[in-house]
Amino acid sequence: MTVALGKHLLSMADLDRVDIERYLDLASSFAEVQKRDIPKVPALRGKTVVMAFFEDSTRTRTSFDLAARRLSADVVNFSVSSSATKKGESLRDTVETISAMGVDGIVVRHASSGVPNRIAEWTDASVINAGDGWHQHPTQSLLDCFTIWQRLGTGDNGLEGLKIAVCGDIKHSRVARSNVEAFSRLGAEVVVIGPRTLFPPSFDGWPVKVEPDIDAVLPDLDVVYLLRIQQERLNEGLFPSTREYRAQYGLTTERARRLRPGALIMHPGPMNRGVEIDPEVADDKQAVVLDQVAAGVPIRMAVLFGLIGPGQAVDRNEFDRIEHEENR
Ligand code: CP
């Protein structure tokens, strides 16, 4: 089966269940490539990808960079701190300037929601959202789905039958918005947990159950997905103290003991050890935080391949064909 994966990846709303499963399948192939002595394929030879990060990042930026290089693309790192943005150049002028040099993909991280969508209007290149404001972080969701699917997935049935809790600052989290969509689209039951002050005004339209009490659901979960608590939320008075937050919602060692054996503990990073997750829990064998990081490279290879690779309509056979040609 071949699936057209479109021109841009701006939101999980761009992907139906078949698209998501195709990306997971492609990422499995690229995960195999990663195990080779030379973990590189020529799939994007001649293509150029620009990393346009207007907001700090460790995991997303590094893994996109590695993914593009492992597909043999040319990679340009656009640095805001040393660019004409500092001289007051508008975002649109910056994008049009980069595009005029002939680029195939622009990976965008920005603190404002909707910026990748605007950029997609100003360029012929494929735009990939690497996290925008509170809005979306679609490749984080794909790598999270991949991590769960590899460990607990039910073959062709995605995440069917799994119960996943997303816990913490749902209101301000692009990861929560993307993951609720992704997990439920793959068939999981999704529960959101957290203080009311860190919930959006309404969950209308969200495919979730709302649970204010983490202790009520812990033993039933297949996955507990913790979100980072940001210092600025404390400054805004949205919860009394980090100590109080830990006591009410943190995955403490005592709470982690009540998880089922085999249940996964996940976090997108960076973690606040001792706030949303106890240090011992973060290092426990049930915590798959570094597996999530590792999944970032094959997932982002799959996304780059799917959007700017040959034909933009790809499947595992296309990947195999490129491999074969390279080896002749
Ligand atoms: N999870 C995530 O987006 O991390 P970075 O901010 O380090 O990219």
Nearest-atom number in ligand 1 for the CA of 61 is 8
Residue with the bigger pLDDT between 88 and 324: it is 88
Tell me, using a 6 A CB cutoff, whether residue 126 lines ligand 1.
no
Average pLDDT over residues 102-123: 97
Asked whether the domain spanning 138-291 has the same topology as the one spanning 3-137+295-327, the reply is: yes
pLDDT single digits (tens) 300-325:
999 999 999 985 545 566 666 666 55
pLDDT single digits (tens) 34-50:
999 999 999 999 999 99
Q: What is the DSSP letter of 188?
A: -
> To test the ligand 1 pocket, which listed residue (55, 57, 66) has its Cβ within 8 A of the most ligand atoms?
57
Asked if CATH classification 3.40.50.2300 holds for the domain at 3-137+295-327, the reply, yes or no, is: no
Residue 272: CB atoms within 10 A of its CB come to: 18
Report whether 303 contacts 139 (CB < 8 A).
yes
The predicted pLDDT at position 320 comes to 64
Tell me, using a 6 A CB cutoff, whether residue 293 lines ligand 1.
no
What tokens were used for 192?
């959101």
Of 55, 143, 176, 173, which Cα lies nearest the Cα of 107? 55
- Residue ranges of domains in the chain: 3-137+295-327, 138-291
Span from the CA of 60 to the centroid of ligand 1 (angstroms)? 5
The predicted pLDDT at position 231 comes to 79
What tokens were used for 108?
């965008």
- The DSSP-derived string for 231-277 is HHHHHTTSSS-HHHHHHHH-B-HHHHTTSPTT-EEE--S---BTTTB
CA angle 266, 133, 66 (to 5 degrees): 60
Each residue of 234-254: b (16+ CB within 10 Å) or e?
Answer: beeebbeebeebbebbbbbee
Residue 120 has pLDDT above 90, yes or no: yes
Q: Which of 74-83, 108-117, 264-273 is the least confident region?
A: 74-83
Average pLDDT over residues 51-79: 96
Beta bridge partners of 4: 313
Span from the CA of 293 to the centroid of ligand 1 (angstroms)? 9
CA distances from 268 to 59, 60, 167, 236, 296 (A): 9, 10, 12, 23, 11
Closest CA to ligand 1's atom 3: 60
- The DSSP-derived string for 150-185 is HHH--GGGTTTT-EEEEES--TT-HHHHHHHHHHHH
Average pLDDT over residues 15-23: 95
Residue 1 has pLDDT above 50, yes or no: no
Span from the CA of 63 to the centroid of ligand 1 (angstroms)? 10
In the chain, the N- to C-terminal Cα span, in Å, equals 25
Average pLDDT over residues 202-230: 96
Average pLDDT over residues 1-19: 86
What CATH number should be reported for the domain whose range is 138-291?
Answer: 3.40.50.1370
